[in-house]
A and B are shown apart, each in its own frame.
Chain A
Amino acid sequence: MQAFTSVSLNYLPKARVLAHSLKRHHPDAGFHLVLSDALPEWLAKSPAPFDSIIHIEQLPVPNLKGWIFQHSLVELCTAVKGEACRWLADRYPGEPLFYFDPDIVVLGPVDSLLAELQRADILLTPHLLEPEDRIEAVLDNEVCSLQHGVFNLGFLGLAPTAEARRFIDWWARRLNSLCYAEIDRGLFTDQRWVDLAPAFFPTLGVVRDPGCNVATWNLTHRQVTGTLETGLQVNGHPLCFFHFSGFDSGAQKVMLDKFGGANPVLYELRDWYTEECRRMGQDEFGQLPWAYSSFDNGQPITLGHRRTYRDRFDVQQAFPDPASTRNTDFCYYVWYDHEFPPAADPHEELWRQLVEARQELAQVLHSRSFRVARRAADLVRGHWFPPREAS
């Protein structure tokens, strides 16, 4: 069995927690890390607990620098999954292949999934296995699934078969050209594409084990019991893997409070996970900036930069290395600035003046002259002009 995850460096501690957690239950499994970020030498030299590091710049994608530039962080870390599947399927042709999101932890053996792969070529976990009852949960969970994809691609299971390979090849091709978060265009990273899979791939299997891919979005129908020491159950089944989606942004906590039904064991699990991440270097790595987030002159790459570049084939051809600003006469950064000068907002000049005037007023109010003058005026006349609250 081979497994992999896909990260930028700030997610390295989580990926380590995941790799250890899988290997605890499957010491025989190979675990690989796809890295869409600068590759530090020390990581290449001693990759453990990972069996190999696949650096994005190794992937056989044409015009790689331009391709990377077209993607935001989440888009890039999901876009590489297709080619990474191909890469691993080529190298381990006889073995089942699993993908897990880095914020997943495996808490039990994946034997039932391996068994299911004897019958199904592609395994998917829907965000939800049952309809919601309350309108609020319909909006939070069902409508959210419609926007972002029916299946959560935090997990993917693939048999070493020709049909699974047909899936990988199709999916990788789509991710290579249209792995964007643009809900109004019907796209959401690698995930919306897979809504098409039940139509295209008859031997797809929907994982109905409630112990798989437990996350805040399906807690309304999954009751977690047990203890961390003795093992956790979901609706009476062993908890196989838990997905801490939205952990860093705080969304996980918000949704846990909303849908977790004040279940203490979920908070206990959360605390355990926080501690594990810390043990694996969260303090050191958690805040690392993403290598592909700025031009080589240090200026941030905005979503506008990325979107224009990805929508314009002519621009891609003109600037094959768009993050480079070395040639200031002919680089994407300068071209973009010239092509899209800051929007002419009719109120902009007024805003600028107002901000300036407020700053000036604040400066005056905090000046020694003002304090002296006010004290003097208070002494002389009682009140100089109405005293300001907390200025």
Chain B
Amino acid sequence: MQAFTSVSLNYLPKARVLAESLKRQHPEAGFHLVVSDELPAWLVQAPAPFDSIIHVEQLPLPQIKGWIFQHTLVELCTAVKGEACRWLADRYPEEPLFYFDPDIVVLGRLDSLLAQLHHADILLTPHLLEPDEELDAVLDNEVCALKHGIYNLGFLGLAPTPEGRRFIDWWAQRLNTLCYAEIDRGLFTDQRWVDLAPAFFPTVGVVRDPGCNVATWNLPRRQVTGSVAGGLQVNGHPLCFFHFSGFDSGVQKIMLDKFGGHSPVLYELRDWYVRECQRLGQDALGNTRWAYGYFDNQEPITAEHRYLYRERIDLQRAFPEPAATGNVNRSYYHWFRQETTKPDIVDSREMLQQELAAVREELERIRNSRSYQVAERATKLVSGTWLRRRAA
């Protein structure tokens, strides 16, 4: 069995907690880390507890620097998952492959998932397994799943089969071109794409074990009991893995308070997780600055920089290394600053005023011409006042 996760460096402590937690249950498992950030030499030299480090810049993507630039942090750390699956499936062609989000901890053996991979090629965990009852939960959880994806891609299980591979190839292709968080376009990172999987891949398996991928969004229907020391149960089943999604932003705490009231042991689990992260370097690494968040002159790369670059192939061609600022005349940074600080070329108010003046001028020219005045007097005499002139 091989498993991997995908991080920027500030998530390294969490990824370590995850890797250790999986190896505690499955000492035989290989665990790999995909890093979408600067790759420190010390990590390459001593990768443990990871069996290998896959750096984003190693992935076989054309124009890798431009591609990285097109993505925000969350987009990038999810976009690499497709190519990373290909990479690992190529190197471990006989073994089941699992992906876990770095903020997951494995608390029980994955035997039921391994068994399910004998008849399903792709395993997915829906955010929710049962409809919610309260309108509040419907909005928080069901509508949220519609926006962000039915299945939580914090977990993915793949069998070493041609059909598993067909899924990987399709998914990787989509993530290579459209792994963006743009809900109004129907996109949300790697996750919305997988809503299509049950249509495209008949052997998708939906994991219905309530002990898998327990998170605040499914707590209305999952009650956690037991103790951290003695083992945890979900609706009576062993807790297999828990997902601390939204931990650093504080959302996890808010949603735990909202939906976890029936499971006080989750606060104990949360405290344990905080201590584990601390033990594995949270203080030293938790605030590491994301290397791809800055131009090489240390100016921050904004969302606007990224959006414009990803929409415009001409810019991608002109600036294949968009984060480089060395050449003032050929850098995206300088181009962008010049373009966006220019006064608006098309001031619609000004244009409206110009056109209005031109039309009025022409009207005046006609009305003031002698021949028109003569003709108008003549026609008025003939047919009364048929031409209704407005007051000027």
Instruction: Indicate whether A and B interact.
Output: yes
Chain A's closest residue to B204 (CB) is: A198
Additional A-B contact list (20), CB under 8 Å, known A384-B371, A385-B365: A126-B198, A130-B200, A143-B187, A170-B131, A178-B138, A184-B184, A186-B146, A187-B143, A187-B146, A192-B146, A193-B146, A196-B145, A198-B150, A199-B145, A202-B206, A347-B348, A350-B349, A350-B353, A360-B363, A376-B374
Q: Which chain A residues border B145 with CB–CB below 8 Å?
A: 196, 199
Could you tell me the distance between the alpha carbons of A135 and B177 in the complex, rounded to whole angstroms?
9
Q: Return B192 CB to nearest CB of chain A, in Å.
A: 5
A376-B147 CB under 8 A given contacts A170-B131, A361-B362? no
Is A336 engaged at the interface, CB distance under 8 Å to the other chain?
Answer: no
Chain B's closest residue to A182 (CB) is: B184
Stretch from B53-61, B320-328, B375-383 forming part of the interface with A: B375-383
Would you give 11 A-B contacts (Cβ < 8 Å), ordered by A?
A126-B199, A145-B196, A178-B143, A200-B130, A206-B202, A354-B355, A354-B359, A364-B367, A368-B383, A372-B375, A385-B369
Is A146 engaged at the interface, CB distance under 8 Å to the other chain?
Answer: yes
Is B366 engaged at the interface, CB distance under 8 Å to the other chain?
Answer: yes
Contact of A129 among B200, B359, B367, B376 (CB under 8 A): B200
Chain A's closest residue to B142 (CB) is: A196
Q: Which chain B residues border A178 with CB–CB below 8 Å?
A: 138, 143
Is A303 engaged at the interface, CB distance under 8 Å to the other chain?
Answer: no
Could you tell me the distance between the alpha carbons of A85 and B96 in the complex, rounded to whole angstroms?
43
* Interface contact B143-A369, CB-CB below 8 Å: no
Q: Which chain A residues border B143 with CB–CB below 8 Å?
A: 178, 185-187
* Interface contact B363-A370, CB-CB below 8 Å: no
* Interface contact B170-A131, CB-CB below 8 Å: yes
Chain B's closest residue to A358 (CB) is: B359
Q: Which chain A residues border B349 with CB–CB below 8 Å?
A: 346-347, 350
Most buried by A among B131, B183, B349: B131
* Interface contact A199-B126, CB-CB below 8 Å: yes
A129-B128 CB under 8 A given contacts A202-B206, A373-B369? no
Contact of B352 among A129, A148, A187, A350 (CB under 8 A): A350
Is A276 engaged at the interface, CB distance under 8 Å to the other chain?
Answer: no
* Interface contact B352-A354, CB-CB below 8 Å: yes
Chain A's closest residue to B348 (CB) is: A347
* Interface contact A370-B356, CB-CB below 8 Å: no
* Interface contact B387-A369, CB-CB below 8 Å: yes
Q: Return A320 CB to nearest CB of chain B, in Å.
A: 20
Is A43 engaged at the interface, CB distance under 8 Å to the other chain?
Answer: no
Contact of B366 among A186, A195, A364 (CB under 8 A): A364
Chain A's closest residue to B366 (CB) is: A364
A146-B193 CB under 8 A given contacts A206-B202, A369-B372? yes
Chain B's closest residue to A381 (CB) is: B371
* Interface contact B199-A370, CB-CB below 8 Å: no
Is B360 engaged at the interface, CB distance under 8 Å to the other chain?
Answer: yes
* Interface contact B372-A195, CB-CB below 8 Å: no
Q: Which chain B residues border A142 with CB–CB below 8 Å?
A: 174, 196
Could you tell me the distance between the alpha carbons of A183 and B130 in the complex, rounded to whole angstroms?
23
Is B135 engaged at the interface, CB distance under 8 Å to the other chain?
Answer: yes
Chain A's closest residue to B166 (CB) is: A131
Residues of B in contact with A (beta carbons under 8 Å apart): 126-131, 135, 138, 142-148, 150-151, 170, 174, 177-178, 183-187, 192-193, 195-196, 198-200, 202, 206, 208, 348-349, 352-353, 355-356, 359-360, 362-363, 365-367, 369, 371-372, 374-376, 378-379, 383, 387, 390
* Interface contact B186-A144, CB-CB below 8 Å: yes
Closest 8 pairs between A and B when the two form their complex, measured CB to CB: A199-B126, A126-B199, A186-B147, A147-B186, A146-B186, A186-B146, A373-B375, A372-B375
Which positions 196-221 of chain A face chain B at CB distance < 8 Å?
196, 198-200, 202, 206, 208
Chain A's closest residue to B356 (CB) is: A354
Could you tell me the distance between the alpha carbons of A198 and B130 in the complex, rounded to whole angstroms?
10
Could you tell me the distance between the alpha carbons of A370 and B363 in the complex, rounded to whole angstroms?
11
Most buried by A among B146, B151, B362, B367: B146
Most buried by B among A145, A146, A200, A372: A146
* Interface contact A199-B206, CB-CB below 8 Å: yes
Could you tell me the distance between the alpha carbons of A389 and B287 in the complex, rounded to whole angstroms?
69
Could you tell me the distance between the alpha carbons of A216 and B177 in the complex, rounded to whole angstroms?
24
Could you tell me the distance between the alpha carbons of A39 and B109 in the complex, rounded to whole angstroms?
62
Chain B proximity mask over A348-372: 1 for CB below 8 Å, otherwise 0: 0011011011101101110111101
Is A318 engaged at the interface, CB distance under 8 Å to the other chain?
Answer: no
* Interface contact B375-A369, CB-CB below 8 Å: yes
Most buried by B among A131, A192, A347: A131
Q: Which chain B residues border A377 with CB–CB below 8 Å?
A: 369, 371
Chain B's closest residue to A379 (CB) is: B371
* Interface contact B374-A361, CB-CB below 8 Å: no
* Interface contact A146-B187, CB-CB below 8 Å: yes
Q: Return B287 CB to nearest CB of chain A, in Å.
A: 33
Contact of A373 among B144, B177, B372 (CB under 8 A): B372
Could you tell me the distance between the alpha carbons of A367 and B352 in the complex, rounded to whole angstroms?
26
* Interface contact A367-B378, CB-CB below 8 Å: no
* Interface contact B128-A199, CB-CB below 8 Å: yes
Is A128 engaged at the interface, CB distance under 8 Å to the other chain?
Answer: yes
A146-B195 CB under 8 A given contacts A202-B208, A372-B375, A373-B374? yes
Could you tell me the distance between the alpha carbons of A144 and B196 in the complex, rounded to whole angstroms?
11
* Interface contact A357-B150, CB-CB below 8 Å: no
Is A138 engaged at the interface, CB distance under 8 Å to the other chain?
Answer: yes
* Interface contact A150-B195, CB-CB below 8 Å: yes
Could you tell me the distance between the alpha carbons of A199 and B151 in the complex, rounded to whole angstroms?
8
* Interface contact B146-A196, CB-CB below 8 Å: yes
